[in-house]
Amino acid sequence: MAMPARPLLVLAALLLPALLLSAASAADSKNNPADQLVALINSNRTASKASSLSDNQGLGCIALQYIKAYEGQCSDVRNKKPPETSFTEIFAPSCGVQVATLSKITGRLMGCQSKYPSPPEAFHILVNDAKDLQVLHSKNHTEIGAAVSGTDGGGPYFWCVLFSGGKPATSFKVDGEVPKTAMHPGCFSGNNDDCAGPTNGAVPISAGASRLVAALLFVVACAFAL
């Protein structure tokens, strides 16, 4: 290697903490478009004297599996629904949600578009007629789960909001942690997790893990340079 060892060491000392720090901070950011949509829905509800809904991660994860059931078919969103049995047979098991804690779905809002709509844009796509507004403001709901996902790393982009009348503390209970396969691709509400957006997890190595790998490779390279 042409570069003398000393400047390389200085460079390593300067860059390594930055690389390690960025790997660590990637894990606990609160940036999540599905949570942002839930916040918009709750502020619209409270402005109309309806209750604020509890953001349930089990229901949010189910909303993401609900999107996956459409297999990227945007045109099916308005007139087709996954069969009821999907909740007990596919959605709950995929999410690690205890089937016995599934509660009644009291409403749903579903939208799809080729270009990614941000949470405020999604709100207007999901709530666009009197029937949607009735679902949005219904007194039958106590909890909510929202999700967004792209398709095969791109569009079309789906948003799904599921409402339930269950008791937030005891319904859609997750056993341990939500399985990684149920989280990707896309984002869902209520899990306090960083989520990069609708194509989140569409690539096999997460951004945090690849930064960590880069940092480790850098350490190895420096060790050889000595």
d(Cα 97, Cα 148) in Å, to the nearest integer? 19
Residue number closest to ligand NAG, CB atom: 47
Q: Which stretch binds ligand NAG (CB under 6 A): 57-65, 131-139, 189-197, 205-213?
A: 131-139
Binding mask 93-122 for ligand NAG (x = CB under 6 A): --------------x---------------
Nearest to 142 by CA among 110, 160, 167, 123: 167
Residue 110 corresponds to which amino acid? M
81 Cβ contact partners less than 8 Å away, ≥ 6 residues apart: none
Among 2, 3, 14, 47, binds ligand NAG (CB under 6 A): 47
Contact stretch for ligand NAG (CB under 6 A) within 127-135, 172-180, 201-209, 210-218: 127-135
Contacts of 215 (CB under 8 A, 6+ apart): 16, 19, 20, 23
Using CB under 6 A, which of 134, 153, 167, 170 touches ligand NAG? 134
Q: Which is nearer to ligand NAG, 74 or 135 (CB)?
A: 135
Q: Which of 140, 152, 209, 219 binds ligand NAG (CB under 6 A)?
A: 140
Q: How far is the CB of 47 from ligand NAG (least distance, A)?
A: 3
42 contributes a contact to ligand NAG by CB under 6 A = no
Cβ neighbours around 16 below 10 Å, total: 14
Candidates 53, 62, 92, 127; binder of ligand NAG (CB under 6 A) is 127
Q: Quickly list DSSP for 12-58.
A: HHHHHHHHHHHHHHTTS----HHHHHHHHHHHHHHHTTPPPPEE-HH
CA-based nearest residue to 55, from 29, 30, 69, 36? 36
Q: Does residue 44 bind ligand NAG (CB under 6 A)?
A: yes
